[in-house]
Amino acid sequence: MTILITGGAGFIGSNFALDWLAQSDESIVNLDKLTYAGNLETLAGLRGDARHTFVKGDIGDAELVKSVLAKHQPRAIVNFAAESHVDRSIHSPEDFIQTNIVGTFRLLEVARAFWSHLEGNVKKGFRFLHVSTDEVYGSLTAGEPAFGETHRYEPNSPYSASKAASDHLVRAYHHTYGLPVLTTNCSNNYGPYHFPEKLIPLMIVNALAGKSLPVYGDGLQVRDWLYVKDHCSAIRRVLEAGRVGEVYNVGGWNEKPNIEIVHTVCALLDELRPKADGKPYKEQITTVKDRPGHDRRYAIDASKLESELGWRPAETFESGIRKTVKWYLANPDWVANVQSGAYRDWVSRQYDLVDATQG
């Protein structure tokens, strides 16, 4: 048996591939376009493993996807492929439209054709699992209940709007064509192999380099934080036993403001990698202008996933963030290799910082 994952060289997809093959002998075909955030080095431990087949390609390339499905005959498709950084969507929205909407549409079309020609139990058991985000639901005020699966979609950025559109397409392909789909909407992920443009890895990397730690606005934007390996275990569980056509929210039950996250990272670095001069890392925190349309609060109600499928996260935020900081401290070569000149230029432009350490 084989499953196809798309976007499997990105942050969540690569963690999923590594965890899947650590727990199962079922093969993975891994399709990834290898954009800036796709990193084959993350999958270095799978080199030579016959259970892992990597295919470089775009989910929007219908002929390529068709040939992959015909050759490998997967029993399921797990769609991680997406442009996912809100800040980048503000500056370059068209990339998000092409990948998240057009790409998902073409993937669905090819999957539908493939599934329609299956027979018997093979057809009955086929699944298309679409991995999405809590950002499609919009923003919450401080006292509002967390997002449930029936919460109205109110996306506020080009990124979240493009993901909302892809969610609607997946739903439509189930209700119109009968394609056996599942959708998961997750909260903010963190953990190993996270590209250092997102909040937690950016803070770790900048702190160690003696650079500014840029925090948007007042830093009181609240997010629910989910350790990436917990997210992967949730996806495995939904793929295994989720009801066809259903949506499952995946959260960590860890609502925290961004500034608290930054202070926690600084405190862990003070403990695990103290500065030679004894000064605290929090002195590097710098407030920068808030980004346009910045959602104030996200919160996930993952009780449906718990009540129906028995899933809860294994990590608390305290245990997960400690594991994450330790991983970055132990893997400086991985960090150095993903920090290309283009990435440094992006961070400098996005946060409008002039830092002497960047040359």
pLDDT in tens, 287-298: 999 888 788 999
The residues, ordered by sequence, that sit 6+ positions from 272 with a Cβ below 8 Å of its Cβ are 325, 326, 329
The residues, ordered by sequence, that sit 6+ positions from 79 with a Cβ below 8 Å of its Cβ are 5, 6, 7, 59, 104, 107, 128, 129, 130, 131
pLDDT in tens, 143-156: 899 999 999 999 99
Residue 193: is its pLDDT beyond 70?
Answer: yes
Report the C-alpha dihedral over residues 261, 262, 267, 270, rounded to 10 degrees. 150
pLDDT of residue 316: 97
- Burial readout 67-79 (b: 16 or more C-beta within 10 A, e: otherwise): ebbeeeebebbbb
Rounded CA gap, 57 and 106, in Å?
Answer: 13
Rounded CA gap, 185 and 188, in Å?
Answer: 10
Express as a percent the part of the chain with pLDDT over 70.
94
pLDDT in tens, 16-44: 999 999 999 999 999 999 887 778 889 98
How distant is the alpha carbon of residue 139 from its chain centre?
A: 19
Tell me if residue 87 is catalytic. Answer: no
pLDDT of residue 256: 96
- Mean pLDDT across 101-115: 98
Phi-psi region of 120 (alpha: psi -120 to 50; beta: other; left: phi over 0): left
Task: Tell me how far CA of residue 103 lies from CA of 7, 75, 96, in angstroms.
Answer: 12, 21, 9
Closest CA to 192 of 247, 139, 232: 232
Catalytic residue among 87, 134, 167, 255: 134
141 within 8 A of 158, measured Cβ to Cβ: no
pLDDT of residue 355: 36
Catalytic residue among 135, 224, 230, 301: 135
pLDDT in tens, 229-242: 999 999 999 999 99
Closest CA to 169 of 206, 128, 225: 128
Closest CA to 130 of 297, 244, 14, 9: 244
Q: How crowded is residue 158: how many other Cβ atoms within 10 Å of its Cβ?
A: 22
Does the model's pTM come out above 0.95?
A: no
Q: Write down the CATH number for the domain with range 2-191+226-253+297-316.
A: 3.40.50.720
Burial class (CB within 10 angstroms; exposed 0-12, middle 13-18, buried 19+) of 204: buried
Q: Where are the domains of the chain?
A: 2-191+226-253+297-316
Helices assigned H by DSSP within the chain: 11-23, 62-72, 86-91, 93-96, 104-116, 120-125, 158-177, 199-208, 228-241, 258-272, 303-309, 317-330, 332-338, 341-351
pLDDT of residue 314: 97
Q: What is residue 184's DSSP assignment?
A: E
Place of tokens 């809100």: 86
Residue 358: is its pLDDT beyond 70?
Answer: no
Tell me if residue 333 is catalytic. Answer: no
pLDDT of residue 350: 53
Q: What is residue 39's DSSP assignment?
A: -
The residues, ordered by sequence, that sit 6+ positions from 66 with a Cβ below 8 Å of its Cβ are 110, 113, 114
Tell me if residue 135 is catalytic. Answer: yes
